[in-house]
Amino acid sequence: MLKNISRARIAGAWCAAVIVLGAYGVVSGASLTVSNAELWLLTCIVPPAVMLLVWRGAPPLTVAELLHAVNTGSKEARS
């Protein structure tokens, strides 16, 4: 599902969504104190940072893929 989207784009979308929600809260009359601002900042920064640290790259090759690559290389060398 998320194969065509990069980690940076997902992190940016998360930050944008949190900023939009915060702006909506301020426009609708919620008070923005220092502790609320810190909470919103942590809400915006921590999940994407954890996602970028935990998300792995491409999965390693399976044994079948390795054996296929080895067999294909040796068959081409024989011809």
Given a contact cutoff of 8 angstroms between Cβ atoms, the answer to whether 30 and 5 are in contact is no
Structural domain boundaries in the chain: 7-78
Q: pTM to 2 decimals?
A: 0.53
Which amino acid is present at 30?
A: A
Stronger pLDDT, 65 or 75, i.e. the higher one: 65
Given a contact cutoff of 8 angstroms between Cβ atoms, the answer to whether 51 and 15 are in contact is no
**Cα separation of the two ends of the chain:** 41
The CA-based diameter of the chain, rounded to the nearest angstrom, is 77
Q: What is the mean pLDDT of residues 24-45?
A: 83
Specify the pLDDT at position 39. 85
Residue 3 has pLDDT above 80, yes or no: no
Residue 79 has pLDDT above 60, yes or no: no
